Amino acid sequence: MKNKTVLIIGGAGFIGINNADYLLSRKYNVILADNLSRNGSALNLEWLRKKWGESFEFIKLDITVDKDKLDVLVAKVDAVYHFASQIAVTISVLNPMHDFMVNAMGTLNVLESIRNSQNKPMLLFSSTNKVYGSMENLGIKPTGDGYRYESLQGINEIQLLDFHSPYGCSKGAADQYVRDYARVFGLKTVVFRQSCIYGTHQFGVEDQGWVAWFAISAILDRPITIYGDGHQSRDVLFVDDLCELYEMALRNISKLSGKTYNIGGGPINTLSVLGTIGRLERILGKKIQASFSDWRVGDQKVFISDVGLIAKDLGWRPTTNIDDGLKKVVNWAKKTKVIFEKLHG
Ligand SMILES: NC(=O)c1ccc[n+]([C@@H]2O[C@H](COP(=O)([O-])OP(=O)(O)OC[C@H]3O[C@@H](n4cnc5c(N)ncnc54)[C@H](O)[C@@H]3O)[C@@H](O)[C@H]2O)c1
């Protein structure tokens, strides 16, 4: 049987590069598309080239303007993973129009390329838990390791949508378009509402990618700022587990098509900000300098995914233990220290 060809849009970013590496190791034909706007993405691409040589294609494009290039690429693939995004809530507040153009309009461009193609490849879209907003109707309680829900283990897909922040709105609009294109146009699409993903090749910054940002700051001996009280909690998912799931989704798209799934580490992989700092300090054997500042817009006090639906439909569950995942991030950050010094001055 011919190996499948996949297009990864936003393929040089954190999740994209890990997904490309995973799929190349499983003999897929891989095409990456990215505008390389994210600091670190060009370095990720260099790393993948060193590892895999010419065995994948890279096309520089911007999903907001290069619709013609998208049309050409979409026409030759079996599957599209769409990860290209403006990813920071903070930046979306500073420039909502740009955020909308990339996240909402850019996604519509991807959908239209697929709708107008002959082959109509499947589409997996990475959405976000931010589409659920702050869920103020749910009681939360403090625990020894951050906030938890009073009467729930995690949030399932029935939770009401309540887009919060321009980022929440633009990703939420895209999330609904992707779902609707399955319903109205019969495309094979699936939406993954992802919680916090962490792992190697994540060039985390203060605005986004906090687990990596803490590890990088610690390696550089830089102080970090904790926005809020530090008890905010997230279920975290190691990127390798996510890549395994992405590939399962591709093989089982007829089962998943038209559906939306909450994807994260689930209740057993939930950490508070302060708890994460404590674990990193133990792994690094040193103290991380931190100070506190006000809560940021759209920051949920707690978000924990209920991953029961994807477990039921695909039999997938996260398997990476948090400390093992954090150690991998720390080792990668140590190896990449010189690059961070250049990036962060
Ligand atoms: N990392 C997480 O914790 C997390 C959580 C929830 C959802 N997500 C979603 O997963 C996806 C990937 O996230 P990531 O962490 O890998 O982010 P990332 O910033 O590392 O990767 C995104 C990539 O998209 C590229 N890009 C940005 N704008 C583009 C444009 N206009 N045209 C083409 N390429 C463009 C960037 O250069 C970058 O390489 C995003 O859609 C994000 O919203 C991520």
d(CA 81, CA 63): 13
State the pLDDT at residue 337: 80
Model confidence band, residue 237 (pLDDT cutoffs 50, 70, 90): very high
Give, in order, the Cα–Cα distances in Å from 222 to each of 38, 230, 271.
21, 18, 22
Q: Which two tokens stand for residue 305?
A: 């995914």
Model confidence band, residue 1 (pLDDT cutoffs 50, 70, 90): low
Q: What is the mean pLDDT of the chain?
A: 96
Whether 262 lines ligand 1, by a CB cut-off of 6 Å, is no
Handedness of CA 133, 39, 339, 81 (dihedral sign): positive
Contact partners, residue 38, CB within 8 Å, separation at least 6: 12, 13, 87, 203
State the pLDDT at residue 339: 83
State the pLDDT at residue 162: 96
Residue 135 confidence (pLDDT) above 70: yes
CATH for 218:
3.40.50.720
Catalytic residue ranges: 167
Q: Which domain holds residue 218?
A: 5-343
Model confidence band, residue 2 (pLDDT cutoffs 50, 70, 90): confident
Average pLDDT over residues 198-203: 97
For the chain, how many structural domains are there in total? Answer: 1
| Residue type present at position 3 | N
pLDDT per residue as tens digits for the range 248-260: 999 999 999 999 9
Average pLDDT over residues 223-236: 96
Average pLDDT over residues 25-51: 97
Q: What is the pTM of this model?
A: 0.97
Give, in order, the Cα–Cα distances in Å from 33 to each of 30, 67, 74, 155, 168.
10, 12, 11, 33, 24
Count of other CB atoms within 10 angstroms of residue 226? 17
Query: Is residue 225 classed exposed, middle or buried when 0-12, 13-18 and 19+ CB atoms within 10 A define those classes?
Result: exposed
State the pLDDT at residue 342: 81
Task: Kindly give the distance from the C-alpha atom of residue 208 to the centroid of ligand 1, in angstroms, as a whole number.
Answer: 10
Average pLDDT over residues 37-42: 96
Whether 7 lines ligand 1, by a CB cut-off of 6 Å, is no
- Going by alpha carbons, the residue nearest to atom 7 of ligand 1 is 128
The proportion of the chain whose per-residue pLDDT surpasses 90, expressed as a percent, equals 93
In which region does residue 221 sit, left (phi positive, over 0), alpha (psi from -120 to 50) or beta (all else)? Answer: left
For a ligand 1 pocket test, name from 87, 97, 194, 237 the mutation site with the most ligand atoms within 8 angstroms of its C-beta: 87
Model confidence band, residue 15 (pLDDT cutoffs 50, 70, 90): very high
Whether 34 lines ligand 1, by a CB cut-off of 6 Å, is yes
Task: Kindly give the distance from the C-alpha atom of residue 163 to the centroid of ligand 1, in angstroms, as a whole number.
Answer: 19
Is 198:119 a contact under the CB 8 Å cutoff?
A: no
The proportion of the chain whose per-residue pLDDT surpasses 70, expressed as a percent, equals 100
Closest ligand 1 atom to residue 197 Cα is: 3
Count of other CB atoms within 10 angstroms of residue 162? 15
Residue 97's H or E segment, with its range, is helix 96-100
Residue 62 confidence (pLDDT) above 90: yes
Whether 64 lines ligand 1, by a CB cut-off of 6 Å, is yes
Closest ligand 1 atom to residue 61 Cα is: 33
Contact partners, residue 258, CB within 8 Å, separation at least 6: 179, 182, 183, 189, 190
Is 39:63 a contact under the CB 8 Å cutoff?
A: no
Task: Kindly give the distance from the C-alpha atom of residue 10 to the centroid of ligand 1, in angstroms, as a whole number.
Answer: 6
Task: Kindly give the distance from the C-alpha atom of residue 19 to the centroid of ligand 1, in angstroms, as a whole number.
Answer: 12
Residue 58's H or E segment, with its range, is strand 56-60
- Going by alpha carbons, the residue nearest to atom 15 of ligand 1 is 14
Relative to beta strand 270-272, strand 233-238 is antiparallel
Contact partners, residue 277, CB within 8 Å, separation at least 6: 214, 224, 226, 230, 288, 290
Residue 344 confidence (pLDDT) above 80: no
Residue 139 confidence (pLDDT) above 80: yes
pLDDT per residue as tens digits for the range 299-319: 889 999 999 999 999 999 999
Q: How far is CA 317 from the centre of its chain?
A: 17
Task: Kindly give the distance from the C-alpha atom of residue 151 to the centroid of ligand 1, in angstroms, as a whole number.
Answer: 33
| Residue type present at position 12 | A
Whether 12 lines ligand 1, by a CB cut-off of 6 Å, is yes
Whether 168 lines ligand 1, by a CB cut-off of 6 Å, is no
State the pLDDT at residue 291: 95
pLDDT per residue as tens digits for the range 88-131: 999 999 999 999 999 999 999 999 999 999 999 999 999 999 99
Q: Which two tokens stand for residue 17?
A: 């590069």
Nearest to 171, CA basis, from 234, 106, 121: 106
Residue 245 confidence (pLDDT) above 90: yes
State the pLDDT at residue 207: 86
Nearest to 123, CA basis, from 171, 67, 190: 190
Whether 128 lines ligand 1, by a CB cut-off of 6 Å, is yes
Average pLDDT over residues 320-341: 92
Model confidence band, residue 298 (pLDDT cutoffs 50, 70, 90): confident
